[in-house]
Amino acid sequence: MAALLDRWVGKTARTLDAPCGTGRLRPVLAARTERWVGLDVAPAMLSRGAGQRIAGDVFRLPFRCGSFDLVSSCRFLHHLHSTTELDLAVRELVRVSSRFVVVTFWDTRALAEWSRRVVGRTPARRTARPRTELIAAFARAGARSVALTHSMPFFSRQAYALFERTP
């Protein structure tokens, strides 16, 4: 995450981390922004850690359009099973961003996903998506793909994607 942000985004004035969970990414994001805001639907998550934290739902973000220079959404999209859910979440993330959205997603190109398809098992509670599906969802929401990367290509399902809002 840090390398992706350093290469493409740099320092920002306002960053939203949604959902923020316990704030695990706060140090990485806060080091690159003047103001970090964390949002999560779970009160137990919000009670942990430092920084400004707000209760809220990613599907209905309580912010005006373009409120943040960077919106981060990590370890969330793989919990969305339908294209409708994905589109709704992506649309909200792009709506409150004035420039960048960075997300993680489970990539179907990973070894574990290839193995799952060959054996015929389905993953529990999580959905892997092809990159093209994620890029299309962001395009429908008004953002273009800037970068897609893995920390461990082919071995890790989790991939990182950076999108830029289009005018």
Crossing angle of helices 83-95 and 131-141, rounded to 10°: 50
Report, as ranges of residue numbers, the positions in the chain whose pLDDT lies below 50. none
Domain count, the chain: 1
CATH of the domain at 107: 3.40.50.150
User: Structure pTM?
Assistant: 0.89
* Cα–Cα dist 48/12, whole Å: 24
Given this model, what pLDDT does residue 44 score? Answer: 84
> What are the two backbone dihedrals, phi and then psi, of residue 109, each rounded to the nearest 5 degrees?
-80, -5
Can you give the pLDDT at residue 133?
94
User: What is the pLDDT at residue 132?
Assistant: 92
Per-residue pLDDT, 99: 97
Matching residue, tokens 């960053």: 15
83, two tokens? 């294209």
**Range(s) of the domain holding residue 47:** 2-165
pLDDT at 122: 61
**Which SS3 state, helix, strand or coil, does residue 85 take?**
helix
Q: Return the pLDDT at 18.
A: 97
Burial 47-75 (b: 16+ CB within 10 A, else e): eeeeeebeebebeebebeeebbbbbbbbb
Q: Two tokens at 155?
A: 């071995």
CA dist 109 and 101 (Å) reads 22
CA atoms within 13 A on the CB side of 99: 12
Report whether 74 contacts 22 (CB < 8 A): no
| Per-residue pLDDT tens digits for 33-65 | 999 999 999 988 888 877 889 999 999 999 999
